[in-house]
Amino acid sequence: MKTLKQISLWKYLPLTLLWSLFFTPCGAQNCIVEDWTISIVSNDMTSMTVQQKKVLTIVNQQGARHAAFVCSCSKKNKLSSFHGIVTDGSGQVVREIKKSELLRTEYSPYLAVDDYKMYYDYTPPTFPVTITYEWTMECRDNVIEYPWFCPQDDYEVSVRHAAYTLQVPKEQTVRHTQQNISTQVTRTEEKKMQVLSLQLSDLPALHREPFTRPLHERIPLAFFAPQQFVYYGEEGHFNDWKEYGQWEYSLVQGRDELPAAVREKLHQMTDGLPNDRDKVERVYRFLGETTRYVAILLGIGGQQPATAEQVAESGFGDCKGLTNYMCAMLKEIGISSSYTVISMDHRRLMPDFASVGQMNHVILQVPLPGDTIWIECTNPRIPFGYVHEDIAGHDAVTVNADGGQIVRLPVYADTANVEKNAVQVTLTPDGTASIQLKQETRCRQMEDRLPLSKMDKNDLHRALQRMVHAPQNIVSNSQVSIDGLSLHIQATMNSQKYASANGMRLFVPLYPIRHGHTTLKSDTLRTEDIVISYGYVDEDDVTFIIPEGYEIEAMPSDTIINSTFGTFSIQLTVNANTVRVNRRLLLKAGTYPAEQYLQLFNFFQTAVNSESQKMVLKKISGTL
């Protein structure tokens, strides 16, 4: 509640601060989009002018990163004008920013790319501060889509007003769709142009919640694209995913010719193999042995793969080039496959709106009888046929002569994503311990461990020390091996202080393996459904060998929990001088109502608390 003195001061507050007082929902708010207008004029299929004005109020230090200006440019996308102005909380101008003050960076992880960024990194000295950026882009020869309308692009950002207008010739067909927006796009006519418009206002900030949909599925978005286009001189059109696939096929068609030496090598490697799966696997190994991934994003090369011959001769290619090369090699030995376009960021494609911008990767589908193999051609460390986490369960579009077809990649069952640990801990009276570890991980949990297989001895030992909760731990021996979709680790360790000695007692941690379970807050106000995208199983079998002359004084009791979200159990068995601890957690992937959040908190808290449990050993009276 405001005091009378506070209320009397309202008329002196700037409009932006008043907005934050009235419209901030429960929870933090870091930035307010006061106004964001995007105006696009495209007089023909080869060019467009994009004018933007963005007015932001940065509320606090957490929102300071929104103060920066960043603009992606290229040879075909030019920043023709720019102006910035900064005002403080009282409305006074504290800084003007000219185009000449922008910095340019061409840094990129890619080998060949014609993109660069113009940017200005502004750090507000006080808060609140309001920043206005106005800029114009001139784009030519690459108008395959129009800019997206995305006024709310982060958590803790509210939007007061945002508007989008697109002007194109009347005879041009523009496709559009939207998500999380109830307002409809309006269409009017002005002389020879049609104008499509969309406005939004009073959008409350979205708050980050654990186990929820990704941000891009929660925010309001609108997409616009021409049905017919000219892309780097190549005419094209598509209205749906089938036609999109036909266009992609036109870019791939005729680019599968292989050098004679490669064709001969392929037959030497595969002609004697008993079945097609073995042949595909052998060619996949050959791809990994003879090529490496290097991204190339130049002109239409951003969409069109290098020829198979170019990849064979150079030994490198991007996802498009390597996939096309793999497809060509399989074709040479009589195995058909499909060039497949996919997003590694978005699980779902918009079924009624085909667009290039939804995709950022290419893989290969090999449909064998009763066994469809998905091949990631850019990373030879991935086991043959394994569907990695960036594409598992994602929609994709297979590209063939008859067009594109949306398919969905498989997801491994929760019980297939396994981590099994067999640990033997031999204790001594002073608290030191020798530890023998055998670990097997499969599928998604195996994928998390893959980097270990390429580490040198020192890095591997440091990683194992972090994996095992044992103070002053020294790894004396280790081995990592991969068998299909399983990764195996064996290690011998010595901890100088595994148990805490106190007089006649030893306090012994029961769980030497770190699982890193999610820690939740019990008082979180939940609004979104709970989304667990990745289910798994952890199984620990830990055997403690008790030092001679000691007996068990106290130990935790068994625990069994059956929850909507999975199961959790702890069982302890005492036999002579050993204590065996069996611990199992199953987390089930799925979508659950928001009101079950407290149940999820309790489920995870039980697992987290178990990692801190100890048993107490007491020295037997009369022993030395």
What's residue 495's pLDDT?
95
Task: Give dist(CA 164, CA 508) in Å, integer.
Answer: 64
- Token output for 582: 């069996």
Residue 205 amino acid letter: A
| Residue numbers in the chain where pLDDT is lower than 50 | 1-27, 109-111
What's residue 159's pLDDT?
97
H/E stretch holding 4 reads helix 4-8
What's residue 12's pLDDT?
27
Beta bridge partners of 174: 226
What's residue 295's pLDDT?
73
Q: Is the N-terminal amide bond of 128 cis, ω within 30° of 0? A: yes
163 phi-psi bin (left φ>0, alpha ψ -120 to 50, beta other): beta
Question: 463 — phi, psi (to 5°)?
Answer: -65, -40
Task: Give dist(CA 423, CA 513) in Å, integer.
Answer: 9
Please count the other Cβ atoms lying within 10 Å of the Cβ belonging to residue 123: 9
Question: Taking the alpha carbons of 79, 85, 86, 87 in that order, is the dihedral positive or negative?
Answer: negative
191 phi-psi bin (left φ>0, alpha ψ -120 to 50, beta other): left
- Token output for 277: 């799966």
Burial state string for 259-293 with b = 16 or more CB within 10 A and e = fewer than 16: eeebbebbeebbeeeeebbebbbbbbebbbeebee
H/E stretch holding 269 reads helix 260-270
Please count the other Cβ atoms lying within 10 Å of the Cβ belonging to residue 296: 18
What's residue 299's pLDDT?
58
Please count the other Cβ atoms lying within 10 Å of the Cβ belonging to residue 6: 11
Residue 197 amino acid letter: S
Residue pointed to by tokens 């202080």: 497
- Token output for 408: 């969905």
- Token output for 341: 């376009």
- Inter-residue long-range contacts of 191-198, CB under 8 Å, 24+ positions, other chains counted: 193/167, 193/168, 193/169, 194/167, 194/168, 194/169, 194/170, 195/165, 195/166, 195/167, 196/165, 196/166, 196/168, 196/224, 197/163, 197/164, 197/165, 197/166, 198/149, 198/163, 198/164, 198/222
Residue pointed to by tokens 């290098």: 306
Residue 110 C-alpha from the chain's centroid: 19
pTM: 0.89
Query: What is the residue-averaged pLDDT of the chain?
Result: 91
Surface-to-core class of residue 152, CB atoms within 10 Å of its CB (0-12 exposed, 13-18 middle, 19+ buried):
buried
Residue 411 amino acid letter: V
Task: Give dist(CA 393, CA 387) in Å, integer.
Answer: 9
Task: Give dist(CA 452, CA 444) in Å, integer.
Answer: 14
Determine the 3-state secondary structure of 216 from DSSP.
helix
Cβ-contact 532, 587 below 8 angstroms:
yes
Task: Give dist(CA 413, CA 44) in Å, integer.
Answer: 50
Please count the other Cβ atoms lying within 10 Å of the Cβ belonging to residue 121: 10
Residue pointed to by tokens 């929102």: 63
Surface-to-core class of residue 188, CB atoms within 10 Å of its CB (0-12 exposed, 13-18 middle, 19+ buried):
exposed
What's residue 608's pLDDT?
86
Q: Which residue, among 622, 588, 356, 616, has the nearest Cα to 500 in the 3D structure?
A: 616
Cβ-contact 359, 419 below 8 angstroms:
no
The angle subtended at Cα 342 by Cα 339 and Cα 346, nearest 5°, is 175
Q: What are the start-end ranges of the H helices in 493-596?
A: none
Task: Give dist(CA 183, CA 347) in Å, integer.
Answer: 25
| pLDDT tens digits for range 101-152 | 999 986 554 445 567 899 999 999 999 999 999 999 999 999 999 999 999 9
| pLDDT tens digits for range 437-471 | 999 999 999 999 999 999 999 999 999 999 998 88
What's residue 217's pLDDT?
95
